[in-house]
């Protein structure tokens, strides 16, 4: 039984749902899991010294991961190298073959900015929750998605996350010989 922390940053909730699904898989395997939303400032509420592993996750907006995740990595880099770590990135771009390359560049940009690299990495397609966006965000996202040839009916939401891939990533997290894996999946 391992004690695992999951810390994530999310703007519209899909990254949080992915974090909770990872936690559910790990709990089902008998592990103790704490899931926390990364605060913009202050303590994340995780005692890193008591954890066997830490999973960080962040959504991508405008080509970047959330600042609070990068700040957490920079502030705790010395502790992170002592832990078994994993990272998952969530973005709408990952739903297309062209976008997956962009998503990988975003992840590599985070590594360059923080000088940290986890043992396992996954990239998951996110969601397009048009009905939860404010009018300007809905209008902007429709324009962006239309240029990509994607779903533009703003009267409904779209979810592109491959939940099977999320669960496979969760099961692979604690495998001792599992290498860094960059997982990209097409839209469901």
Does one domain contain both 148 and 71?
A: no
Residues 139 and 70 in one domain: no
User: In which residue are the tokens 């860094």 written?
Assistant: 180
| Lookup result for tokens 């929750």 | 129
Q: CB–CB of 17/65 below 8 Å?
A: no
Instruction: Give residues with Cβ within 8 angstroms of 106, minimum separation 6.
Output: 60, 63, 64, 65, 89, 91, 93
Q: Quick check: is 53 in a domain?
A: yes
pLDDT at 177: 53
pTM beyond 0.75, yes or no: yes
Average pLDDT, consecutive stretches of 10 residues, N- to C-terminus, the chain (188 residues): 93 94 95 91 81 94 88 92 93 83 91 92 93 93 87 93 95 67 46
Q: Is residue 185 part of a domain?
A: no
Q: Retrieve residue 143's tokens.
A: 């324009």
The predicted structure's pLDDT at residue 174? 74
Residue 100 lies in a domain: yes
The per-residue pLDDT for 5 is 95
Q: Do residues 101 and 34 share a domain? A: yes
Q: What is the pLDDT of residue 183?
A: 54
Q: Which range of residues forms the domain containing residue 55?
A: 3-126+161-172
Same domain? 145 vs 58:
no
In a domain, 113, yes or no: yes
**Domains in the chain: how many in total?**
2
167 and 145, same domain (yes or no): no
Nearest residue to 113 via CA among 44, 64, 58, 62: 64
Same domain, 16 and 55: yes
Whether residues 45 and 72 share a domain: the answer is yes
The CATH number of residue 35's host domain is: 3.40.50.360
Same domain, 120 and 138: no
Same domain? For 48 and 108 the reply is: yes
Give a yes or no: residue 187 inside a domain. no
Are 168 and 137 within one domain?
Answer: no
> What pLDDT does 51 receive?
92
Residues 99 and 143 grouped into a single domain: no
Q: What is the pLDDT of residue 33?
A: 95
Q: Which two tokens stand for residue 61?
A: 């907006």
Same structural domain, 26 and 63: yes
Half-sphere exposure of 72 (CA within 13 A, CB side): 28
Position 110 in a domain: yes
The answer to whether 164 touches 124, Cβ cutoff 8 Å, is: no
């Amino acid at each position: 039984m391992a004690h695992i922390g999951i810390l994530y940053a999310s703007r519209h909730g899909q990254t949080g749902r992915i974090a909770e699904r990872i936690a559910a898989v790990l709990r089902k395997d008998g592990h103790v899991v704490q899931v926390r939303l990364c605060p913009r400032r202050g303590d994340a509420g995780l005692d890193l010294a008591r954890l066997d592993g830490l999973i960080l996750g962040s959504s991508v907006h405008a080509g970047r991961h959330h600042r609070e995740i990068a700040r957490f990595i920079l502030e705790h880099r010395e502790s992170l190298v002592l832990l078994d770590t994993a990272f998952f990135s969530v973005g709408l771009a990952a739903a297309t073959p062209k976008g997956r390359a962009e998503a990988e560049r975003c992840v590599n940009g985070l590594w360059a900015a923080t000088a940290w690299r986890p043992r396992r990495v996954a990239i998951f397609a996110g969601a397009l929750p048009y009905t939860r966006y404010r009018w300007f965000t809905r209008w902007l996202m429709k324009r962006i998605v239309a240029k990509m040839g994607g779903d533009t009916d703003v009267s409904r939401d779209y979810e592109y996350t491959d939940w099977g891939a999320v669960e496979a990533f969760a099961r692979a997290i604690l495998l001792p010989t599992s290498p860094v894996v960059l997982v990209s999946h097409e839209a469901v």
